[in-house]
A and B are shown apart, each in its own frame.
Chain A
């Protein structure tokens, strides 16, 4: 989230990618960083350790939404 905030403050399109478990923390950090509306894309949790097949599926499903957010469209 903090990396996303740094990019956004630098004027670059930014999307923070977090898993569900970190969604509340993401909200907190975005507010603390002064960008409460910082775009974020929430992945299922856990991703890590779920195997290449599942990770590939999660990535394929996530990419269009991440591009939408980067281009300023709401999900």
Chain B
């Protein structure tokens, strides 16, 4: 295998790591040094030629070749089997609908969230969907999300003050990847809504704010439980400080825990019906609009003076994730009417046994 990247020499890995930090090639945390052997091992997980260009990543306009993506995947700590998911995620952010230029450059704290569906959750992982899926401790989740971030920084130029103008930022921009809890979900997997078969694998990427916890302690004796869940999720989407309240028209993620999802499904609600209800319920009352002085939107309210925060059910990416219990989550919208959810197939037709990982 012939690699195109420039070779750099260092007497040892500790010196190389300091060199990487000095050149601003890291996210601030230590990285695995991408030696030729490690990069080749990751590339072996894909049949694609290393020189193939997956896309151009703005605002820096760097060309994301398979090789460059592999280098960043190694740096992030990815194992070879994680790489097909990283590649699919990069392919997805290069979809013009995602508007990567604005996602990277905005002053808002948004970043891409990677949602994985299909057999890749196990074959390319395990990519966790349950306990603490977005927290620390899950190697594939952490490494895959971090690989995308390093690609966005090193190929896309999203360095603070240069290409990334997030006023404060948020820790989800280090890494943000989880699987959907398909087995615990009462509904068909998310990616089937985009035309994939359930036995195919795909990533869905959404540019959003950090997850906001949504608490509801449901009771089997409460006939109002489904409505209460919808109300609290809708109110969380339409919180006063959210971009969608102030500006509107951005996609959100709703991550229902399996218990909340089961309560809604038992009430006869499909995934689409839940999204439809939430889109209708996630409104901001006129009184709140006046209180927070959203001047530009007051005139847009409906007959009751309530202002929708979403264009329709299509603005909600609804997944089932986390532990069954009290906590679901809403990821508020990022850009107004610019970025859209995107998806890409994960190809992991491993043609041979993957080489053993080269540990740092």
- A and B associate: yes
Across the interface, which residues of B come within 8 angstroms of A28, CB to CB?
59-60, 157, 162-163
A32 near B165: Cβ-Cβ < 8 Å? no
Top 4 closest pairs, chain A to chain B, by CB: A28-B162, A32-B61, A32-B60, A24-B161
CB of A42 within 8 Å of the partner chain: no
**1/0 per position for B51-64, CB-CB distance to A under 8 A?**
00000001111000
Across the interface, which residues of B come within 8 angstroms of A33, CB to CB?
61
B163 near A25: Cβ-Cβ < 8 Å? yes
In the complex, the chain B residue whose C-beta lies closest to that of A34 is B61
In the complex, the chain A residue whose C-beta lies closest to that of B161 is A24
CB of A70 within 8 Å of the partner chain: no
In the complex, the chain A residue whose C-beta lies closest to that of B167 is A21
CB of A29 within 8 Å of the partner chain: yes
B161 near A32: Cβ-Cβ < 8 Å? no
Q: A28-B59, A29-B163 are in contact. List 6 more A-B contacts (CB 8 A).
A: A2-B101, A24-B161, A25-B165, A28-B60, A28-B163, A32-B60
Chain B residues in the interface with A (C-beta under 8 A): 58-61, 101, 105, 157, 161-163, 165
Chain A residues in the interface with B (C-beta under 8 A): 2, 21-22, 24-25, 28-29, 32-33
Across the interface, which residues of B come within 8 angstroms of A22, CB to CB?
165
B162 near A2: Cβ-Cβ < 8 Å? no
Across the interface, which residues of B come within 8 angstroms of A25, CB to CB?
59, 105, 161-163, 165
Taking chain A's interface residues, is the majority helix, strand, or loop, or is none over half, making it mixed? helix
Across the interface, which residues of A come within 8 angstroms of B58, CB to CB?
32
In the complex, the chain B residue whose C-beta lies closest to that of A33 is B61
Taking chain B's interface residues, is the majority helix, strand, or loop, or is none over half, making it mixed? loop
B59's contact among A2, A21, A24, by CB below 8 Å, is which? A2
Across the interface, which residues of B come within 8 angstroms of A32, CB to CB?
58-61, 157, 163
A29 near B161: Cβ-Cβ < 8 Å? no
Across the interface, which residues of A come within 8 angstroms of B161, CB to CB?
24-25
Across the interface, which residues of B come within 8 angstroms of A29, CB to CB?
59, 105, 163
Across the interface, which residues of A come within 8 angstroms of B105, CB to CB?
25, 29
| Cβ contacts A to B, 5 pairs, < 8 Å | A28-B59, A28-B60, A28-B157, A29-B59, A32-B157
Q: How far is A29 from B104 in the complex, measured between Cα atoms in Å?
A: 12
Q: How far is A29 from B105 in the complex, measured between Cα atoms in Å?
A: 10
Q: How far is A33 from B56 in the complex, measured between Cα atoms in Å?
A: 12
Across the interface, which residues of A come within 8 angstroms of B157, CB to CB?
28, 32
Across the interface, which residues of A come within 8 angstroms of B61, CB to CB?
32-33
| Nearest CB of chain B from residue A44's CB, rounded to whole Å | 17
Q: How far is A50 from B60 in the complex, measured between Cα atoms in Å?
A: 31
In the complex, the chain A residue whose C-beta lies closest to that of B156 is A32
Q: How far is A17 from B308 in the complex, measured between Cα atoms in Å?
A: 33
Across the interface, which residues of A come within 8 angstroms of B101, CB to CB?
2
Q: How far is A24 from B101 in the complex, measured between Cα atoms in Å?
A: 16
Q: How far is A10 from B144 in the complex, measured between Cα atoms in Å?
A: 39
Across the interface, which residues of A come within 8 angstroms of B162, CB to CB?
24-25, 28
Q: How far is A4 from B344 in the complex, measured between Cα atoms in Å?
A: 32
| Nearest CB of chain B from residue A26's CB, rounded to whole Å | 10
| Nearest CB of chain A from residue B61's CB, rounded to whole Å | 4
Q: How far is A62 from B165 in the complex, measured between Cα atoms in Å?
A: 24
Q: How far is A25 from B105 in the complex, measured between Cα atoms in Å?
A: 9
| Nearest CB of chain B from residue A53's CB, rounded to whole Å | 18
Across the interface, which residues of A come within 8 angstroms of B163, CB to CB?
25, 28-29, 32
In the complex, the chain A residue whose C-beta lies closest to that of B162 is A28
